Amino acid sequence: MEMGSSVDFTADSSNISEQRCATFPCILVLGMAGSGKSSFVQQLNSYLRQHKYKPYLINLDPAVVNVPYPVNIDIRDTVKYKSVMREYNLGPNGAIMTCLNLLCTRFDQVMDLLKNRADLCSHCIIDTPGQIEAFTWSASGSIITETLASTHPVVVAYIVDSVRAANPTTFMSNMLYACSILYRTKLPFIIVLNKADIVYPSFVTKWMKSFEDFHEALDSGKSSYMHDLTRSLSLVLDQFYENLSPVIVSSLTAEGFDEFLKETEKCLKQYFETYRPMYEKLKVVKANHNNEMMCAKKLENFSIRDGVINPQSNETVNVVEKMNLDENE
């Protein structure tokens, strides 16, 4: 498809269009450090705007110095990363987790802002910290993901660095992480093979379709215990690959973004048919619990040395929008 042609994001999805009218989908961008998450968000924002869509951008990385896109909600406006490091005597990763924990005490304000923009926005794109474990394996990451998925259709975009994935062992490490995130979030999942302008990752799609091809690539290197372990893991993950369709993109040239959005639409259909009923059951189970009480209880478990994180710390302020969307824009 040519870049100038229009993209029918709702093809064969009339029911989805009706269900989306009250809200907009959220694309949760995850990936290892250096995989190109922020560049992907930047290009996706530009691509959507070229096609007359209005994405809403959220940055959840408190340690980033600059973001290469016009952010609407920025965690750095709510909690100060360096101040958290000083106050709680934390290292870089611990401070990121603490900032996310503190944001959770204000996340109801984020949801209110998203609700107010339901008529103006087409997508919500959420950029996460490069230290992926700080988000995916923390209570705050689970709270944010579950809160979003209870109200909005959510799709996880897992960004893979195609250059690093050329190494079979590194590729397998990435896929193990992707598998763990898929089963932890229980949300529609897209593997995005980024940096196609540097290395076109057609070999990755072959590896995912045929473990024989993967074993052949693995055998071309030096034999080691790590290779034997990787070979065994490839057989285990072969079934995991059956439900995934990798998308090849370049965040530099915008190659493949039309295919990514088509795959996103398929995932939205899965969300409404499979995931949404599951979350509705979850909401019924938790109906007698106060949502804020649950968040506070989880956050109390995060003790910092001899003290406990204080959600009312002076390091947090109300969530604000950095820019408003003009309906007539």
* Of 30-39, 197-206, 316-325, the least confident: 316-325
pTM to 2 decimal places = 0.82
Look over the chain and give the mean of its residue pLDDT values, rounded to a whole number.
83
Full set of structural domains in the chain with CATH: 20-201+245-287 (3.40.50.300)
Cα separation, 37 vs 126, whole angstroms: 10
Amino acid at 180: S
Portion of the chain with pLDDT greater than 70, in percent = 80
Average pLDDT rounded to a whole number, residues 116-122 = 90
Tell me the C-alpha to C-alpha distance, in Å, between residue 138 and each of 30, 141, 306.
14, 5, 20
Average pLDDT rounded to a whole number, residues 198-208 = 92
Q: Contact at 8 Å (CB) between 40 and 191?
A: no
Tell me how many helices (H) and strands (E) the chain has: 15, 9
Amino acid at 152: H
Indicate whether 3 pLDDT > 50. Answer: no
Q: Contact at 8 Å (CB) between 272 and 19?
A: yes
The DSSP element (H or E) to which 221 belongs, if any, is none
Indicate whether 279 pLDDT > 90. Answer: no
Cβ partners under 8 Å of residue 65, min gap 6: none
Indicate whether 303 pLDDT > 80. Answer: no
Residue 326's pLDDT band (cuts 50, 70, 90): low
β pairing state of 154-161 and 189-194: parallel
Predicted local confidence at residue 273, as pLDDT: 86
* Of 131-135, 218-222, 239-243, 271-275, the least confident: 218-222
Cα separation, 63 vs 70, whole angstroms: 17
Cα separation, 124 vs 113, whole angstroms: 11
Predicted local confidence at residue 294, as pLDDT: 64
Q: Contact at 8 Å (CB) between 106 and 319?
A: yes
Per-residue DSSP letter, 70: -
DSSP-assigned beta bridge partners for residue 59? 74, 127
Indicate whether 296 pLDDT > 90. Answer: no
Q: What is the DSSP string of 111-177?
A: HHHHHHTTTT-SEEEEE--SSHHHHHTSHHHHHHHHHHHTTS-EEEEEEEEHHHHTSHHHHHHHHHH
Tokens standing for residue 297: 């209880």
Average pLDDT rounded to a whole number, residues 154-183 = 92
Indicate whether 26 pLDDT > 80. Answer: yes
Pairwise pLDDT comparison (276 vs 91), residue with the higher score? 91
Indicate whether 244 pLDDT > 70. Answer: yes
Residue 18's pLDDT band (cuts 50, 70, 90): very low
Cα separation, 49 vs 123, whole angstroms: 11
The radius of gyration of the chain's CA atoms, rounded to the nearest angstrom, is 20
Indicate whether 291 pLDDT > 80. Answer: no
Contacts 24+ apart (CB under 8 A), 163-169: 163/195, 163/198, 163/199, 164/32, 164/34, 164/35, 165/193, 165/201, 165/204, 166/199, 166/201, 166/203, 168/207, 168/214, 168/217, 168/218, 168/221, 168/227, 168/230, 169/218, 169/226, 169/227, 169/230
How does pLDDT run across 50-85, given as a tens digit for each residue? 999 999 999 999 999 999 999 999 999 999 999 999
Portion of the chain with pLDDT greater than 90, in percent = 53
